[in-house]
Amino acid sequence: MGFSILSLDEEAIAGVTTAMVGFMGYVVSTVLMVLIMKTPSCRNAFGYLCISRLVSHIGIYSFNVFWAAPALLLKFDDSITSSYIGARIAINRLIAVASPLLYSRAFSDWNLMIFIAAFWLLSSAQSIVLLWEECKYVFSPSQFAWVYASTECGLFASFYLDFLFCVVVILTVLLIDSATFFLIRRRAKDLFNKRCSSSQEQLAKLRVHKIFFVQGILCAINQALGIASYHSLLRETATKWERIAGTTLIFQLCNIIDALILFSFIKPFREEFRRSLCRRGRKPSVNRGKSNLILQCLDAAFILG
C-alpha cells in the first residue's frame, strides 16, 4: 500500500496506546461500579447516578478500544455519545441541600429511573444526528483522530452539538454547584447560631455537601479540559500525535480522572475499597484484634497520605 515501516510503527504504537488507556478506563470504571453496588450507604439516587456516569465512560472507552485501536492497527478505511450525568448529579445535590423533603420525593426509585432514562434518551437523540452520512463522526486512521464530516452538517455538529453544547452544560453544572454552595453557607450560618445538638448534626451533613461541591467543580473543570484539548489539538496544522492525543488519549484519560475524582471524594467508596483489600490480604491465623489494628492503621495511612 506504499506506506513506510516508520508509518506502520507509528500506527501500531498509537493503536496499542489507545487500547491500553481504554482498558485502564474499563478497570477503573468496573472497580468503582462494584464498590458502589457493595456500599450500602450508596444504594440511593446519588449512587445510581454515579453508576450511570461510569456506564457512559465505558461507552467512550468501547468506541476507542473496539474501533479506533483496531482501525490504527489494521489500517481501516476512513468510513459518540455525550453524557449529561454531570448536570444530573449537580441537580441532585442542589435539591438535596435546598429541600431535603422535596429530595426524597423527587428522587424516589420510580422518579429516578425516569430521570436517568430521560437524559439517556436526550443523549441518544443527540448521537443519532451523527449517524447521518452528511454529519458522520468517525475515526480516521490516516488523521489519527475522531473527525466530523467535512460538510455543512458536520461543521454544525462539531461546533453547536459538540463544542458549544458541552460548554453550556459545563457552565450549567458550575452555576448549579455554585448555587448549592451559597445555600450551604447560608444554612451553615443559621445552624451555627442555634448551637443545639440537632444543628450540629445538620452542620456535619453540610460539611459533606461542601466536599461534594469541590468534587463537582473538579469534575466540571476536568470535563472542560477534555473538550478544550479536543478542539485545540484538532487543528489543520496539528501533527498526527497531537490529534490522537487530543481526540482519543487525553479524552479517555479525562474520563478516568473523572471516575477517580468520584472515588477520592466519597468516603464510603474509600472505606469499602480498603475493606476489600484487607479481606484479600487477611490471613486465616490473624485474630480479630489484629485485624482491627490493621484496619485502623490503613485508615490512618489513608488520611495522612
Residue whose entry in the numeric block shows the C-alpha cell 448529579: 89
Give pLDDT, residue 247. Answer: 82
Q: What is the mean pLDDT of the chain?
A: 72
Give pLDDT, residue 78. Answer: 47
Q: How would residue 305 be classed by pLDDT, with cut points 50, 70 and 90?
A: very low
Instruction: Extract long-range pairs of 294-301: CB within 8 Å, 24+ residues apart.
Output: 298/274, 299/274
Section 57-85 average pLDDT: 70
Q: Which of 5-9, 182-186, 236-240 has the lowest mean pLDDT?
A: 5-9
Section 204-228 average pLDDT: 78
Give pLDDT, residue 21. Answer: 94
Separation between Cα atoms, residue 210 and residue 214, nearest integer Å: 6
Section 107-135 average pLDDT: 71
Q: Which of 126-140, 232-246, 250-264 has the lowest mean pLDDT?
A: 126-140
Contact by Cβ (8 Å): 157, 146: no
Is the pLDDT reported for residue 302 higher than 70? no
What is the rounded (10 degree) CA torsion for 88, 94, 98, 103? 30
What is the rounded (10 degree) CA torsion for 66, 72, 75, 76? 40
Is the pLDDT reported for residue 64 higher than 70? yes
Give me the percent of the chain exceeding a pLDDT of 90: 5
Q: Which tops the pLDDT comparison, 280 or 151?
A: 151
Give pLDDT, residue 23. Answer: 94
DSSP single-letter state for residue 160: I
Is the pLDDT reported for residue 24 higher than 90? yes
Question: What's the pTM?
Answer: 0.66
Is the pLDDT reported for residue 92 higher than 60? no
Q: Which of 2-6, 68-72, 170-174, 192-196 has the lowest mean pLDDT?
A: 2-6
Q: Which tops the pLDDT comparison, 98 or 29?
A: 29
Q: Centre a 10 Å sphere on the Cβ of residue 207 and count the other Cβ atoms it contains.
A: 11
Q: How would residue 280 be classed by pLDDT, with cut points 50, 70 and 90?
A: low
Q: Which tops the pLDDT comparison, 86 or 194?
A: 194
Separation between Cα atoms, residue 160 and residue 130, nearest integer Å: 13
Is the pLDDT reported for residue 42 higher than 60? yes
Give pLDDT, residue 218. Answer: 87
Tally the residues of the chain: 305
Give pLDDT, residue 204. Answer: 64
Section 99-121 average pLDDT: 62
